[in-house]
Amino acid sequence: MGSELDAKIPMNALDPGFYIVEVSVGFERSRLIADEKMDEVFHATSRSGEAREVRLIANKNLFNTDEETIMDQHYAFLDVKNTQIDANTYDVVLDPSGLYDDMGMILHGSEFKDFVESKEMYRMAEAIEAQLTSAKVTK
């Protein structure tokens, strides 16, 4: 394990396949377990145009048969497949910034008189979301 350990999972670089999701805490690795059943699909693309469909599954009944119960908890898995993305499909991420936790202290970004960066950025993100929604750009 090197410096890439905390680099998150590079979804666009994952080879197609079925993955067990584990987390590392210190020197111990543990299976990731969800509180409830999950089945979420999202897409990732690379700058070179490769696209992946990533399905996050957590379902303790996923591998059960009529005769056998395999898992006792909702263990997390990733099912990764190659896919094609419509050229007119975009993901828009509105990151209002601020309000991040820095060693136990919540930081609000820049502040001056009545201006608080995190509040203004959040207000702006909501305004952009409203415009995109009214233009029927979002779901």
Q: Determine the pLDDT at residue 43.
A: 83
Give one DSSP letter per residue of 103-129, joined into a string: TTEEE---EETTEEHHHHHHHHHHHHH
Q: Is 119 helix (H, G, I), strand (E, B) or coil?
A: helix
The conformation of residue 87, written as its DSSP 8-state character, comes to T
Length of the chain: 139
Mean of all residue pLDDT scores within the chain: 82
pLDDT band for position 55 (cuts 50, 70, 90) = very high
pTM for this prediction: 0.62
Of 60-64, 114-118, 125-129, 135-139, where does mean pLDDT reach its minimum? Answer: 135-139
Q: Where are the beta strands (DSSP E) in 46-104?
A: 51-58, 74-83, 100-102
